[in-house]
Structure 1
């Protein structure tokens, strides 16, 4: 009886995650519509916007309860977008610290972001315990499209 409820719960969660992934993919396709050349913000402007979004997200916590704004995956995607400008991938520990979530929660989100092909994971050849995380091509394009759409508003 208990196993059946766990299986049902897993099936329900899988269905919900699939729905989120489909919606995300649809929005990425929609957001990547052609833009007039004069409207294309520079990479530096996109990084500045991503930094501003991160700062705005953290500022909310000064005024409202922290648990209202718990989106570790989004915080990680923003941090990875900003860090890619430094041309250095983040290790898991640094990425977890950017998410303001417990380690296990962050690791589950990292795994999910990898399954969605939004991030890449590379094991450090000199220290196999260390895993480098960076935005994948799809992740970069999705973030760029989103940040461009913000700029147009």
Structure 2
């Protein structure tokens, strides 16, 4: 397991070195102002698709699998972090250019649908996700990271890579 984590951190580190992302500010306090620090991703760059700040979706999916493996060894109730599981799933889906239905996101959360729906509402209120209607089936809705949410996740992964690489 330690070797796999080291491999993940090396992959994250190489990702950060190949793309310019990152900020020292908290991703959830993003105010939309342009950053002047080198390597910072701005909302304007994200909005105009000038950067692809999220890591390879295969890496994110691997992180999700590792998180799910814990339940096999420690039981399903010990590690419950449904909001993070949803954000990881949405980050991977965004990088894959894939739509995620509300039902699928509820399943990804690993908690009962009522609980997952409550968390989806909170994430939407925070502006981290957006819901859109399915053009073909009005009963179905899709969920995706908002620009603010994608930027927050990108900054998180950049910070992890920086820390894993030993950088301040």
Q: Same fold per TM (> 0.5)?
A: yes
Q: How far apart are the structure 2 equivalents of 1:135 and 1:44?
A: 11
Q: How far is the alpha carbon of 1:95 from its aligned partner?
A: 0.9
Pairing of 1:1-153 with structure 2 (within 5 A)? 27-28=26-27, 29=29, 34=37, 45-152=55-162, 153=164
Q: How far apart are the structure 1 equivalents of 2:36 and 2:93?
A: 26
RMSD: 2.4
Name which structure has the greater RCO, CA cutoff 8 Å, separation 6+. 2
Structure with bigger helix share is 1
Deviations 1:51-77 (A, max 9, x none): 232122111111112111111111000
Structure index of larger Rg? 1
Q: How far is the alpha carbon of 1:46 from its aligned partner?
A: 4.5
Q: How far apart are the structure 2 equivalents of 1:121 and 1:139?
A: 13
Q: How far is the alpha carbon of 1:116 from its aligned partner?
A: 0.6
Q: How far is the alpha carbon of 1:128 from its aligned partner?
A: 1.3
Task: Give unmatched runs, 5+ long, in structure 1.
Answer: 1-25
- 2:150 aligns to what SS in structure 1? helix
- 1:68 aligns to what SS in structure 2? coil
Q: 1:36 to 1:130 in 2, by over 3 A?
A: closer
Q: How far is the alpha carbon of 1:50 from its aligned partner?
A: 2.1
Task: Give unmatched runs, 5+ long, in structure 2.
Answer: 1-24, 41-51
Contact 1:46 1:148 in 2 (8 A): no
Q: How far is the alpha carbon of 1:93 from its aligned partner?
A: 1.0
Contact 1:46 1:144 in 2 (8 A): no
Q: How far is the alpha carbon of 1:125 from its aligned partner?
A: 2.9
